[in-house]
Amino acid sequence: MTDVIVIGAGVTGCAVARELSRFDLSVAVLEKACDVAEGAAKSNSAIVHAGFDAKPGTDKARFNVFGNALFEPLCRELGVPFQRNTTLVVAFSPGDLPRLEELKARGEKNGVPGLRIAGRDEVRAREPNIGREVCAALVAPTGGICCPYELTFRLAENAAANGTEFIFNCGVRTVVRSGAAWRVEAEGGRVFETRTVVNAAGLYADVLNNQVSAAKLTITPRRGEYLMIDKAYAGAFCATVFQVPTPMGKGVLVSPTVDGTLIVGPTAENIADKADTRTTAAGLEKIRQAAFRTWNNLPLSGVIATFAGLRACGDRGDFVLGEPPDAPGFFNAAAIESPGLTAAPALGVWLAERIAKTLNAQRATFNAKCETCWKPFREMTNEQRVTAIKENPAYGRIVCRCETVSEAEIRASIRCRIGARTLDGVKRRTRAGMGRCQGGFCTPRIIAILCEELGLKPEQVTKFGGGSWMIGD
């Protein structure tokens, strides 16, 4: 019998698992994919929202502002890049100005510090590449950027170091009450008995909630498509620049990423298929048209990748959190759409404390530092590089030339507790394959390393598990 089963190893599930590992509880995370961060956690805007967008009084507003404040210490502990680069919401016509005032007032109600409205000259001085039509902008100094998949991976790695078990390729089919406990049945006939359950299953959290509660929930996927712009344009924007929001979302943004690229998007389109993460010509054209207003010289020749993510939009207008009245011991972290990345650290703290109280758990020994992770070669000084190569010559063999990723880092990413098992797993842990050539040169080398480390044949190596083999018959 486990104390807690967390279903889903996205940023929410991993944040909850890490916080639970502070207590003397046995915790297992069941994930249907072959790795962490295979859902929305891998494909979002990567913005740590200030908190002016959510409606005052909602859980979205509360956990956004609380989560934002936790990012600095959390990212320091885990060694995840995070920058408070400031968020701007730009008005392109005098008609937009009342919307900026509204957002400012809303943010102040939510407790967002430092909000103010800047005029055209100040905005243009801050961001010389901003569109010519700019009139004014809401300035939110607590807005930030981070790497969502690195955060998820390191939350999981740290939870595992503190005793949490992670089981991949383990999709949960049913959750049913079993006396005072829960019986969780997963694919492959695997059965788990647990005292409590955390439902952090992203797009599928409605299915699990509806198995245990009469308070039904519907989650609709809302697709967001993006363009990623090459590092050659790093510095084109320092702040994250939004346009005024629409009823479907926060609108199209242009933002630097912590890795030096620029992200442009997303669209917002409700779709029927929870697995449809295709990009479309129409979606990319919408981004192009909207983003040109923010960045008149948007360099389409600098686009190195396009991708799409699916928001888990619930039908209650807010996150769905905690125990349904008719299912005590079953804790929802459901309908976690934006600002779910920002809220994740706060959701982790809140849920873990409630579960610990329910189970009467005590604090346990906990190491907050993610110690097993490696230092990226590209971030080392020359002196550090010389020392690293002396200690481990594999640091001297660069596998991904675009992102300067060494063989040592790729091997470390496979050998760590929550080790990479696929090409995408290596890519998200190290950035190998994320540069301008998008893996054109390094993919065969990474396949060879995965084979050596895991005892696989090349034809067994996949991009992201399942049947996504890299080499056909």
Ligand X SMILES: Cc1cc2nc3c(=O)[nH]c(=O)nc-3n(C[C@H](O)[C@H](O)[C@H](O)COP(=O)(O)OP(=O)(O)OC[C@H]3O[C@@H](n4cnc5c(N)ncnc54)[C@H](O)[C@@H]3O)c2cc1C
Listing DSSP states for 334-357 in one string gives E---TTHHHHHHHHHHHHHHHHHH
b/e sequence 260-285, b meaning 16+ C-beta within 10 Å: ebbbbbbbbbeeeebeebebeeebbe
Q: Does 75 bind ligand X (CB under 6 A)?
A: no
Tell me the C-alpha distance between 175 and 166, whole Å.
18
- Applying CB under 6 A, the span of 102-110, 120-128, 289-297, 333-341 interacting with ligand X comes to 333-341
Per CB under 6 A, the list member of 40, 161, 287, 408 interacting with ligand X is 40
Using CB under 6 A as the binding rule, whether residue 7 contacts ligand X is answered as yes
Least gap, CB of 253 to ligand X (angstroms): 8
Nearer to ligand X, 376 or 465 (CB): 465
Count of residues near ligand X by CB under 6 A? 38
Query: Is 86 an interacting residue with respect to ligand X (CB under 6 A)?
Result: no
DSSP 251-311: --EEEE-TTS-EEEE---EE-S-TT-----HHHHHHHHHHHHHH-TT--GGGEEEEEEEEE
Instruction: Tell me which of 2, 21, 44, 220 binds ligand X, using CB under 6 A.
Output: 44
Q: 3 or 31: whose CB is closer to ligand X?
A: 31
Q: Which of 3, 5, 28, 39 binds ligand X (CB under 6 A)?
A: 39
53 binds ligand X (CB under 6 A): no
**Of residues 2, 6, 25, 45, which one binds ligand X by CB under 6 A?**
45
Binding residue for ligand X (CB under 6 A) from 4, 11, 80, 91? 11
Residue 15 or 400 with smaller CB distance to ligand X: 15
Separation CA 120–CA 91 (nearest Å): 9
The least CB distance from residue 341 to ligand X, in Å, is 3
The rounded distance, in Å, linking the Cα atoms of 279 and 223 is 9
Query: What letter represents residue 15's amino acid?
Result: A
**Identified binder of ligand X from the candidate list 18, 22, 32, 104, rule CB under 6 A:** 32
Is residue 339 near ligand X by the rule CB under 6 A?
yes
Calculate the CA dihedral of residues 155, 158, 162, 163 and round it to 10 degrees. 70
Q: How far is the CB of 406 from ligand X (least distance, A)?
A: 29
Half-sphere exposure of 202 (CA within 13 A, CB side): 30
Q: Does 200 bind ligand X (CB under 6 A)?
A: yes
- Under rule CB under 6 A, which residues in 219-238 are in contact with ligand X? 224
Shortest distance, CB of residue 38 to ligand X, whole angstroms? 5
Sole window of 33-41, 392-400, 429-437, 457-465 interacting with ligand X (rule: CB under 6 A): 33-41
Q: Does residue 10 touch ligand X according to CB under 6 A?
A: yes
Residues 293-332 that bind ligand X (CB under 6 A): 309-311
The minimum distance between CB 394 and ligand X, in angstroms, equals 31
Q: Does 263 bind ligand X (CB under 6 A)?
A: no
Which of 18, 49, 286, 421 binds ligand X (CB under 6 A)? It is 49
User: Considering the complex, what minimum distance in angstroms separates the CB of residue 204 from ligand X?
Assistant: 4
Question: 3-class DSSP state for residue 118?
Answer: strand
Task: Transcribe 188-234 into DSSP letters.
Answer: GGEEEEEEEEEE--GGGHHHHHHHH-SS---EEEEEEEEEEE-GGGT
Could you write out the DSSP letters of every residue in 60-71? Answer: HHHHHHHHHHHH
* C-alpha closest to that of 75 among 147, 156, 12: 147
- Select 45 or 430, whichever has its Cβ closest to ligand X: 45
Residues 6+ apart with CB under 8 A from 225: 265, 266, 267, 279, 280, 283, 284, 286, 287, 306, 307, 308
For residue 283, state whether it binds ligand X (rule: CB under 6 A).
no
Of 18, 32, 42, 49, the catalytic one is: 49
Angle between helices 97-110 and 59-78 (to 10 degrees): 70
| Residue 201 interacts with ligand X (CB under 6 A): yes or no | yes
On the question of a cis peptide bond just before residue 266, with omega within 30 degrees of 0, the verdict is yes
Single out the residue of 117, 61, 129 nearest to residue 89, CA to CA. 117
When asked if residue 425 is in the footprint of ligand X (CB under 6 A), the reply is no
Q: Which is nearer to ligand X, 321 or 373 (CB)?
A: 321
Q: What are phi and psi of 230, to 5 degrees?
A: -55, 150
- Is 49 an active-site residue? yes
With DSSP H G I counted as helix, E B as strand and the rest as coil, what are the percentages for the chain, rounded to 5?
35, 25, 40
Residue with nearest beta carbon to ligand X = 340
Q: How far is the CB of 333 from ligand X (least distance, A)?
A: 6
Burial class (CB in 10 A: 0-12, 13-18, 19+), 69: middle
Interaction between residue 46 and ligand X (CB under 6 A): yes
Helix (H, G, I), strand (E, B) or coil at 114: coil
Binding residues for ligand X restricted to 12-31, rule: CB under 6 A: 12-13, 30-31
Distance CA 119, CA 142 (A): 19
Task: For residue 403, state whether it binds ligand X (rule: CB under 6 A).
Answer: no
Residues contributing to the site for ligand X (CB under 6 A): 7-13, 30-33, 38-41, 44-47, 49, 171-172, 200-202, 204, 224, 266, 309-311, 336-342
The residues that are catalytic are: 49
